[in-house]
Structure 1
Amino acid sequence: MSDFARLLSQYGAIRAEQEELYRDLHQHPELSHQETRTAAKAADLLESWGFRVERGVGGTGVVGVLTSGEGPTVLMRADMDALPVREATGAPYASTAEATDADGVTVPVTHACGHDVHVACLLGAAQLLASDLDAWHGTAIVLFQPAEETGDGARAMMEDGLLARIPKPDVALAQHVLPGLAGHVGTRIGAVLSAADSIRVRVFGRGGHGSMPQNTVDPVVLAAMIVVRLQTVIAREIAPTEPAVLTVGSIRAGSKSNIIPDDAVLELNIRTYSDATRQHTLDAVDRIVRAECAAGASPREPEIELYDSFPLTSNDEAVTSRVADAFAAHFGERAGQLELQTASEDFSDIPRSAGVPYTYWRIAGTDPDSWEAAVKSGTVTSDIPANHSPLFLPVIQPTLQTGTEALLVAAGAWLAA
Structure 2
Amino acid sequence: MDISMILSKSKPHLKPYEELYKHLHQNPGLSLQEHLAAETATKHLRILDGFDVRTKIGGTGLVGILSNGPGKTVLLRADIDALPVEELTNLPYGSTKREVDVEDGIEKAVMHACGHDMHIACMLAAASTLHTAREHWKGTLVVLFQPNEERAAGARAMIDDGLYDPKRHACPSPDVVLGQHVMPQAAGTVGTRVGHFASAADSFRVTVYGRGGHASQPHVTIDPVVLAAHIIVRLQTIVSREVNPREGAVITVGSVQSGMTENIISSEAVIKINVRTVTPETRDKLLAAIKRIVKAECDASGSPKEPLFEATSSFPFTINDINVTNCVASAFTEHFGEKHDPQAPPLGGSEDFSILATEAPNRIGGKGVPYTYWNLGGTDPALVQKAKVENNSGLVPHNHSAYFAPVIQPTMRTGMEAMVVGALSYLT
Trace 1:99-248 onto structure 2 (pairs within 5 A). Answer: 99-102=99-102, 103-164=104-165, 165-208=170-213, 215-248=220-253
Q: Does 1:383 align with 2:388?
A: no
Instruction: Supply the distance in 2 between the matched residues of 1:358 and 1:300 (Cα, whole angstroms).
Output: 46
- Equivalent-residue separation in structure 1 for 2:243 and 2:107 (angstroms): 42
CA positional deviation for 1:74: 0.9
* 1:188-246 alpha-carbon deviations (Å, 9 max, x no partner): 12222222222221222334566766655444444344334433322333222211011
User: What residue is the counterpart of 2:373 in the other structure?
Assistant: 360
The residue aligned with 2:84 is: 84
Cα offset, 1:46, TM superposition: 1.3
CA–CA distance in structure 1, aligned partners of residues 301 and 91 of structure 2:
55
Amino acid across the alignment from 2:109: P
The match for 2:311 is 306
TM-score normalised by length of structure 2? 0.89
Cα gap change, 1:228 to 1:133, in 2 (>3 Å): same
**1:133–1:12 Cα change, 3 Å:** closer
Map of 1:369 onto structure 2:
382
1:36 matched to 2:35: yes
Q: What CA distance in whole angstroms lies between the structure 1 residues aligned with 2:317 and 2:88?
A: 32
- Answer with 21-30 or 68-77: which moved more: 21-30
Give the match for residue 346 of structure 2: 340
TM-score (norm 1): 0.91
Unaligned runs of 5+ in 1: none
Please say if residues 10 and 133 of structure 2, whose CA atoms lie closer than 8 Å, have aligned partners that are also in contact: no
1:292 aligns with 2:297: yes
Which residue is equivalent to 1:64? 64
Change beyond 3 A, Cα 1:199–1:105:
closer
Does the CA contact (< 8 Å) of 1:10 and 1:128 recur in 2?
no
Relative to 1, partners in 2 of residues 1:259 and 1:14: Cα closer, same or farther, differing over 3 Å? closer
Q: Deviations over 1:281-322 (max 9, x none)?
A: 112222332233344443212111111222222222222122
CA contact (8 A) 2:64 2:143 kept: yes
The answer on whether the counterparts of 1:73 and 1:140 sit within 8 Å (CA) in structure 2 is yes
Letter in 2 for 1:362: N
Contact 2:250 2:277 in 1 (8 A): yes
Match of residue 364 from structure 2: none
Aligned residue type for 2:31: S
Q: How many residues align structurally?
A: 414
Aligned mates of 2:227, 2:293 — CA distance in 1: 11
Matched, 1:403 2:424: no
| Percent identical | 52
Alpha-carbon offset, residue 140 of structure 1: 0.8
Report the CA distance between 1:53 and its aligned residue.
0.9
Whole-angstrom CA distance in 1 between matches of 2:42 and 2:386: 40
Contact in 2 for aligned 1:249/1:267 (Cα 8 Å) = yes
* Distance of 2:217 and 2:110 partners within structure 1: 49
**Is the 2:185–2:378 contact (alpha carbons within 8 Å) kept by the matching residues of 1?**
yes
Q: Give me the CA root mean square deviation.
A: 2.3
Q: Which residue of 2 aligns with 1:350?
A: 356
Note closer, same or farther for the CA distance 1:250–1:118 as it changes in structure 2 (3 Å cut): closer
The answer to which of 18-27 and 249-258 deviates more is 249-258
Alpha carbons of structure 1 residues 130 and 200: separation in structure 2 relative to 1, 3 Å: same
Distance in 2 between the 1:116 and 1:258 partners?
45
Which amino acid in 2 is paired with 1:78?
A: A
Cross-structure match for 1:268: 273
Bigger CA drift: 65-74 or 83-92? 83-92
Deviation for aligned residue 1:35: 1.6
1:372 Cα offset (Å): 3.1
Q: Match of 1:162, SS?
A: coil
User: Using a 3 Å threshold, how does the CA distance of structure 1 residues 286 and 358 change in structure 2: closer, same or farther?
Assistant: same
Rounded to whole Å, the distance in 2 between the matches of 1:255 and 1:139 is: 57
- How far 1:147 sits from its partner (Å)? 1.4
**Aligned pair in 2 of structure 1 residues 11, 99: CA closer, same or farther (>3 Å)?**
farther
| 1:138-191 Cα shifts (integer Å, max 9, x gaps) | 111100011112221112111111112211111111101111211100021222
Deviation at 1:20, TM superposition (A): 2.7
Deviations 1:50-71 (A, max 9, x none): 2111101111111011111111
CA distance in 1, matches of 2:409, 2:257: 46
Tell me, yes or no, if the aligned pair for 1:11 and 1:401 is still in contact at 8 Å: no
Change in Cα spacing, 1:81 to 1:259, as seen in structure 2 (3 Å) is closer
**Runs of at least 5 residues in structure 2 that lack an aligned partner in the other structure:** 361-367
Contact in 2 for aligned 1:193/1:314 (Cα 8 Å): yes
